[in-house]
Amino acid sequence: MALGNSGAPLRIRRQTWITRADLKANRDWIYVYGDNVKREGRRGLAREMRGEPNAHAISVSWGPFDPFLPETLQDAKREIAQDLAALAARKAAHIIWPMAGIVPEFLTMPDELYHFLRREARRLLQVADPA
């Protein structure tokens, strides 16, 4: 079981609508969002979270409009695993996860990678349905 900084289990909360004001009002909570490896763009939740110290990006594509493809599956798995491990290492007492998940509707992702993301988020953070 993943533990927060107090040694207690992490509390994963779902939030439907997340704004920059939420991040500023709750500095001790970590807010998760799907992002690209390049950490570029201001679309979706990145617009609200990018640059905030309590935001945590999980890679779901190579760049804006540059999806992970079956040919890059192993490299994409490494990026996702690295981002999830970094989130677990933050040892936050509270993690806010977007209600709609971290893979936006407009983005396609190979099924194998989608399942890998779900499995690893469950294993490291006990997030029931992260994608």
- 109 in helix, strand or coil? coil
Specify the 3-state DSSP secondary structure of 32.
Answer: strand
Residue 5 lies in a domain: no
Q: What is the mean pLDDT of each run of 10 residues along the chain (131 residues)?
A: 51 91 96 96 90 97 94 97 95 90 85 92 78 62
What's the CA angle centered on 60, arms 57 and 39, to 5 degrees? 50
Cβ(76)–Cβ(68) under 8 Å?
yes
- 101, part of any domain: yes
In a domain, 6, yes or no: no
* pLDDT score, position 9: 57
Q: Which domain holds residue 76?
A: 11-125
Residue 131 lies in a domain: no
**Within a domain: 4:** no
Whether the Cβ atoms of residue 44 and residue 101 lie closer than 8 Å to each other = no
Give the predicted TM-score (pTM) of the model.
0.88
Name the domain count of the chain: 1
> 1 lies in a domain?
no
- Mean pLDDT for all residues in the chain: 88
Structure confidence by residue, pLDDT tens digits, 85-122: 999 999 888 999 999 888 888 788 899 999 999 899 88
Judge whether 2 lies within some domain: no
